[in-house]
C-alpha cells in the first residue's frame, strides 16, 4: 500500500514514541492508518499520551481501552554509558518492557513490531547478516538482545527490525552521532576528533519507519536487518556530514582511535556493527536508500538551523 492510498482501519499503538525514531514512525503511521495512539513517559509532543511500558498492569489497561491491532515497541534506553552504570534501569526498560508488550500482544493475537540494534553483535566479523549469531557485550546490547529472544520465542505474529547507526529527528531529538557532531560545530568547534576504528551502517529514521510499514504490509513475519545501503566508519560519516554542511574548509575532521574518547565512552562497543539486509534483499522488500543519499537529505535540516531559518 502506498502512502497515498486510503487509510486502513488498523488500530496502531506506538509505545515509547517520544524519541528520534518515534517521530518518524508516528508520521508514517498517521499517513497510512486512521487510528494511531502514540505514548511515552516524556510528553515532548502534543500527540503523545503518557504511558510507562515498564508497568504491566497500566499497559494492560491501555491495551484494553485502545484495542490495538498492531503494536510498535519503539522506546529504549540507548545511552550505552548510562546503561552500563544503571544496569537495573537498563534491563527494566530494554528487556522487561518488550516482554510486557509481547505478553499482552500474544494474549490478544496481535502483531508486535520490536526495534532492535546492530549493537548486539560482537564486532569480530566485517559484517553481519540476519542469520549471524549475536554476541552482546554491554548491558545495553544484552538487554536489547533479550527483547529479541523473548519476542521471537513467545510470539506468533511479530516483526523484529534491527537498526544500525540511527540518524534522524533533527537538532531537537537526535541523540546520536550526527547531532553530537552538529552540536560541536554549532558551539564553534573548528576541529573535530572522530574515530576511524568503529564501523557501521547508518540508518535514517524516515527510511526505517517507512520500511517497517511496507514490510508489515507483506505479512512476511520474522526478524530483519534493516539499515541504509553502504557502510563506513564514524570518521566517514563525520567528514561527509561536514561536507554536506559546506564547512569542509572551516571545520577540520581529525582521525583518532577509540582510546581518544575512552573516558567519555567507556561502555564496550563492537569494532564493526555493519549489517547487511540479506533477507529483505532476497525477498525483494528492501526499501532502504544509500546512507549518503539519506544523510544529504537529513543534512538540509541542519543547514537551515545553522542559517536560522528554522
Predicted pLDDT at 310: 46
Q: pLDDT tens, 274-287? A: 999 999 999 999 99
Burial of 116 per CB tally in 10 Å (0-12, 13-18, 19+): buried
Helix axes 291-307, 177-186, angle to 10 degrees: 30
Q: Is 111 helix (H, G, I), strand (E, B) or coil?
A: strand
Q: Is the pLDDT of residue 209 over 60?
A: yes
Global pTM? 0.95
Residue 100 lies in a domain: yes
Q: pLDDT tens, 108-151? A: 999 999 999 999 999 999 999 999 999 999 999 999 999 999 99
Domains: count for the chain: 1
Q: pLDDT tens, 211-250? A: 999 999 999 999 999 999 999 999 999 999 999 999 999 9
Residue 236 lies in a domain: no
Residue 309 lies in a domain: no
Q: Is the pLDDT of residue 15 over 90?
A: yes
CATH number at residue 100: 3.40.50.720
Name the nearest CA neighbour of 207 among 106, 290, 128, 277: 290
Q: Is the pLDDT of residue 32 over 80?
A: yes
Name the nearest CA neighbour of 37 among 24, 26, 21, 23: 26
Cβ neighbors of 259 (< 8 A, separation 6 or more) are none
Residue 53 lies in a domain: yes
Pairing outcome for strands 199-200 and 232-233? antiparallel
Name the nearest CA neighbour of 138 among 265, 284, 310: 265
Residue 186 lies in a domain: no
Pairing outcome for strands 252-256 and 191-195? parallel
- Phi, psi angles (nearest 5°) of residue 15: -105, 125
Give the count of beta carbons closer than 10 Å to the beta carbon of residue 247: 16
Q: Is 174 helix (H, G, I), strand (E, B) or coil?
A: coil
Q: How far apart are CA 272 and CA 18, in angstroms?
A: 28
With vertex at residue 173, the alpha carbon angle to CA 290 and CA 209, rounded to the nearest 5 degrees, is 45
Residue 213 lies in a domain: yes
Residue 151 lies in a domain: yes
Cβ neighbors of 165 (< 8 A, separation 6 or more) are 118, 176, 177, 200, 201, 202, 203, 237, 273
The parent domain of residue 127 ranges over 8-170+202-229+275-289
Q: What is the DSSP letter of 300?
A: H
Per the structure block, which three cell numbers stand in for 209?
A: 519507519
Residue 62 lies in a domain: yes
With cell 554491554, the residue in question is: 138
Q: How far apart are CA 262 and CA 259, in angstroms?
A: 5
Q: Is the pLDDT of residue 268 over 70?
A: yes
Amino acid at each position: 500500500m502506498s502512502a497515498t492510498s486510503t487509510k486502513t482501519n488498523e488500530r496502531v499503538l506506538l509505545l515509547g514514541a517520544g524519541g528520534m525514531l518515534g517521530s518518524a514512525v508516528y508520521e508514517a503511521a498517521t499517513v497510512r492508518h486512521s487510528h494511531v495512539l502514540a505514548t511515552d513517559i516524556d510528553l515532548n509532543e502534543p500527540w503523545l499520551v503518557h504511558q510507562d511500558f515498564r508497568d504491566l498492569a497500566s499497559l494492560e489497561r491501555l491495551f484494553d481501552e485502545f484495542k490495538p491491532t498492531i503494536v510498535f515497541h519503539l522506546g529504549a534506553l540507548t545511552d550505552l554509558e548510562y546503561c552500563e552504570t544503571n544496569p537495573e534501569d537498563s534491563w527494566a526498560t530494554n528487556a522487561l518492557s518488550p516482554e510486557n508488550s509481547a505478553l499482552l500482544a500474544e494474549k490478544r493475537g496481535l502483531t508486535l513490531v520490536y526495534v532492535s540494534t546492530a549493537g548486539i553483535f560482537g564486532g569480530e566479523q566485517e559484517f553481519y547478516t540476519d542469520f549471524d549469531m549475536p554476541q552482546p557485550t554491554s548491558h545495553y546490547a544484552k538487554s536489547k538482545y533479550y527483547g529479541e529472544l523473548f519476542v521471537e520465542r513467545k510470539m506468533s505474529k511479530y516483526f523484529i527490525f534491527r537498526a544500525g547507526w540511527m540518524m534522524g529527528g533533527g537538532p531537537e531529538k537526535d541523540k546520536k552521532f550526527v547531532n553530537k557532531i552538529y552540536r560541536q560545530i554549532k558551539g564553534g568547534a573548528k576541529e573535530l576528533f572522530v574515530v576511524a576504528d568503529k564501523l557501521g551502517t547508518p540508518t535514517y529514521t524516515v527510511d526505517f519507519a517507512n520500511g517497517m510499514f511496507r514490510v508489515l504490509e507483506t505479512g512476511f513475519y520474522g526478524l530483519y536487518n534493516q539499515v541504509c545501503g553502504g557502510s563506513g566508519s564514524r570518521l566517514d560519516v563525520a567528514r561527509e556530514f561536514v561536507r554536506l554542511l559546506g564547512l569542509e574548509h572551516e571545520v577540520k575532521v581529525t582521525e583518532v582511535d577509540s582510546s581518544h574518547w575512552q573516558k567519555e565512552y567507556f561502555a564496550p562497543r563492537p569494532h564493526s556493527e555493519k549489517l547487511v539486509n540479506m533477507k529483505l534483499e532476497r525477498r525483494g522488500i528492501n526499501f532502504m536508500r544509500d546512507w549518503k543519499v539519506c544523510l544529504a537529505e537529513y543534512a538540509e535540516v541542519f543547514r537551515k538551523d545553522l542559517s536560522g531559518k528554522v
